[in-house]
Amino acid sequence: MNLTFRKLIAGSLLFSSLSFVAEENQKDFIELSYGEHEKQKIDFYPGGSKKVLVWIHGGGWVFGGKRASRWIERLERYYEVNNELNIFSIGYRYGEGTAPQAAEDALCAYKFIEQEIIERGLSQDDVIIMGLSSGAHLALLVGMKNSKGSDHKCQTQKYPAVIINFFGITEIEKNYQFLKDNNYFLNFVNWWLPPDADINTISKKYSPLYQVSENTPPIITIHGTDDDLVPYQQALLLKEKLGDKNELVSIEGGGHWRFSDGEHKDIKIKIDNFLEKNVQKN
Rounded CA separation 262/120 (Å): 37
* Cα–Cα distance, 88 to 94 (Å, whole number): 18
With cut-offs at 50, 70 and 90, classify the pLDDT of residue 1.
very low
Q: How far is CA 56 from CA 142, 145, 213, 273, in A?
A: 11, 16, 22, 22
Rounded to whole angstroms, how far apart are CA atoms 277 and 92?
A: 31
Q: How far apart are CA 84 and CA 50, in angstroms?
A: 8
Per-residue pLDDT tens over the stretch 238-251: 999 999 999 999 99
> What pairs with residue 223 in β-bridges?
250
Read off the CATH number of the domain in which 213 is found: 3.40.50.1820
Residue 281 is predicted with a pLDDT of: 57
Name the residue type at position 158.
K
57 contacts 132 by C-beta, under 8 angstroms: yes
Beta-bridge partner residues of 220: 164, 247
Q: Residue 115: what are its φ and ψ, rounded to 5°?
A: -70, -40
Say whether pLDDT at 18 is over 60.
no
Cis omega (within 30 of 0) for bond into 208: no
| C-alpha–C-alpha distance, residues 62 and 217, integer Å | 28
213-261 pLDDT, tens digit per residue, is 999 999 999 999 999 999 999 999 999 999 999 999 999 999 999 999 9
pLDDT digits (tens, 9 = 90+) for 189-212: 999 999 999 999 999 999 999 999
Measured in degrees and rounded to the nearest 5, phi and psi for residue 131 equal -150, 165
Between 24 and 128, the more confident residue is: 128
Single pTM value for the model: 0.92
Q: What is the per-residue pLDDT across 50-62, written as a single tens digit (0 to 9) for each?
A: 999 999 999 999 9
Neighbours of 233 (CB within 10 A): 16
Helices (H), the chain: 3-18, 69-78, 101-119, 134-148, 172-182, 188-192, 199-206, 232-242, 261-278
Could you tell me what percent of the chain has a pLDDT over 90? 88
Q: How many CA atoms lie within 13 A of 197 on its CB side?
A: 22
When divided into structural domains, the chain yields a total of 1
Confidence of residue 4 (pLDDT cuts 50, 70, 90): very low
Which of 201, 74, 178, 81 has its CA nearest to residue 136? 74
Over residues 93-120, mean pLDDT: 98
For residue 104, give its domain range. Answer: 3-278
Model pLDDT for residues 77-92, shown as the tens digit of each residue: 999 999 999 999 999 9
Report whether pLDDT(103) > 70.
yes
